[in-house]
C-alpha cells in the first residue's frame, strides 16, 4: 500500500466467552477509500467492524486482544475516551434507525452532544451540510421539523448517514447498510458511498459481492474467524490467491 494507512489492526483476537470469533487479524485500511469486508455468515466481519469503534465493549462477554490504531492512536489504550472515539468513527447499521425526533434534530444530535457549534446559524449550516453530503437535502429541506421515522426506508438510511457524518468523523463503518432496502434505494446509497469517500474513510460489511465490486477499492475476505486475504477489490475478485476466496467468490461456499 503506497499511502500510510489510517487504520492498522495487528494480531487482533476476539473472544465471546470461551469462543474465539477472530484469530490474529492483521489489516491495514487506507484513507479516503472504501474497504469491503466480505465472507460467509458467521466469519467475523461484523465483529471486526465493531472493534474499530469499540462497540464490542457493550457486549459483556466480548474480549478484544491485539492492537488497533487509528492515525497512530491505539484505540484500546487505557486513556482513550470512547465517546470521543465514536465521534471519530461513526456507524451506520443494517436497519435504518433514526431517532423518533425531527429530521433536523436527528442530524443535530451528535453535534449538540459534542458541542461542535456555537450558534443556531452554525448548527443550521452543519445540518444542511450533512444532509447535502448524504444526498437527502433536496428531499427534506422543506420539512426539517417532520419526524425522521416518517421517511421512506432509503431516505431513513440516508438520514442515518447524515447523522453519522454530522460530527465530521474520519471513518464511517457501515454494516450491511443496504440489506433492508430495495434495489433503487440501494443504488442511491451505493452512489452516495462513492461520493462520501472523498471526505471519509469507509468500511462496509456486505453479503453482496456485486456490491463489494461496485463500491469498494479494497476488499478483505474473512473465513471462519480468519482474514484469508485482502487487497485491491479487482485483484480479490479476478485473481484471488487463496482457494477459499476463490470458492467464495464463485459461489461454492457461503
Ligand X SMILES: Nc1ncnc2c1ncn2[C@@H]1O[C@H](COP(=O)(O)OP(=O)(O)OP(=O)(O)O)[C@@H](O)[C@H]1O
| Binding region for ligand X (CB under 6 A) | 16, 21, 39, 41-47, 59
Listed in sequence order, the residues at least 6 apart from 77 whose beta carbon sits closer than 8 Å to its beta carbon are none
CA atoms within 13 A on the CB side of 39: 23
Least Å distance, CB 4 to ligand X, is 27
Least Å distance, CB 94 to ligand X, is 9
Least Å distance, CB 237 to ligand X, is 18
**Of 131 and 172, CB closest to ligand X:** 172
Instruction: Supply φ then ψ for residue 59, to 5 degrees.
Output: -100, 110
Least Å distance, CB 203 to ligand X, is 13
Nearest CA to 169 among 52, 250, 1?
52
Instruction: Supply φ then ψ for residue 17, to 5 degrees.
Output: 60, -125
**Of 134 and 212, CB closest to ligand X:** 212
Q: Determine contact, residues 104/130, Cβ cutoff 8 Å.
A: no
Least Å distance, CB 56 to ligand X, is 8
Least Å distance, CB 102 to ligand X, is 32
**Of 40 and 112, CB closest to ligand X:** 40
CA distance 249 to 10: 26
**Of 56 and 233, CB closest to ligand X:** 56
**Of 47 and 87, CB closest to ligand X:** 47
Q: What is the 3-state secondary structure (H, E, C) of 120-162?
A: HHHHHHHHHHHHHHCCCHHHHCCCCCCEHHHCCHHHHHHHHHH
Conformational region of residue 17, where left means phi above 0, alpha means psi within -120 to 50, and beta covers everything else: left
Q: Determine contact, residues 101/147, Cβ cutoff 8 Å.
A: yes
Least Å distance, CB 69 to ligand X, is 21
**Of 35 and 46, CB closest to ligand X:** 46
Instruction: Supply φ then ψ for residue 108, to 5 degrees.
Output: -75, -15
Q: Determine contact, residues 197/174, Cβ cutoff 8 Å.
A: no
Bridge-based pairing of strands 218-223 and 201-205 is: unpaired
**Of 123 and 174, CB closest to ligand X:** 174
Amino acid at each position: 500500500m503506497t499511502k500510510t494507512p489510517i487504520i492498522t489492526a495487528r494480531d487482533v483476537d476476539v473472544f465471546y466467552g470461551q469462543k474465539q470469533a477472530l484469530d490474529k487479524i492483521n489489516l491495514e485500511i487506507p484513507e479516503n477509500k472504501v474497504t469491503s469486508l466480505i465472507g460467509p455468515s458467521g466469519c467475523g466481519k461484523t465483529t471486526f467492524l465493531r472493534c474499530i469503534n469499540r462497540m464490542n465493549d457493550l457486549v459483556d462477554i466480548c474480549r478484544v486482544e491485539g492492537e488497533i490504531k487509528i492515525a497512530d492512536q491505539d484505540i484500546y489504550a487505557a486513556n482513550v475516551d470512547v465517546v470521543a472515539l465514536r465521534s471519530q468513527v461513526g456507524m451506520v447499521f443494517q436497519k435504518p434507525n433514526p431517532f423518533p425526533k425531527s429530521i433536523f434534530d436527528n442530524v443535530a444530535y451528535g453535534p449538540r452532544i459534542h458541542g461542535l457549534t456555537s450558534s443556531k446559524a452554525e448548527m443550521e449550516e452543519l445540518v444542511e451540510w450533512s444532509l447535502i453530503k448524504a444526498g437527502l437535502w433536496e428531499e427534506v429541506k422543506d420539512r426539517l421539523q417532520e419526524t425522521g421515522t416518517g421517511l421512506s426506508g432509503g431516505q431513513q438510511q440516508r438520514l442515518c448517514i447524515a447523522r453519522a457524518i454530522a460530527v465530521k468523523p474520519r471513518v464511517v463503518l457501515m454494516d450491511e447498510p443496504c440489506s433492508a432496502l430495495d434495489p433503487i434505494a440501494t443504488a442511491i446509497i451505493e452512489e452516495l458511498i462513492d461520493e462520501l469517500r472523498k471526505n471519509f474513510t469507509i468500511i462496509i460489511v456486505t453479503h453482496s459481492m456485486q456490491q463489494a465490486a461496485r463500491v469498494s477499492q479494497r476488499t478483505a475476505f474473512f473465513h471462519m474467524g480468519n482474514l484469508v486475504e485482502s487487497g485491491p477489490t479487482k485483484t480479490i475478485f479476478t485473481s484471488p490467491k487463496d482457494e477459499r476466496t476463490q470458492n467464495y467468490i464463485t459461489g461454492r461456499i457461503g
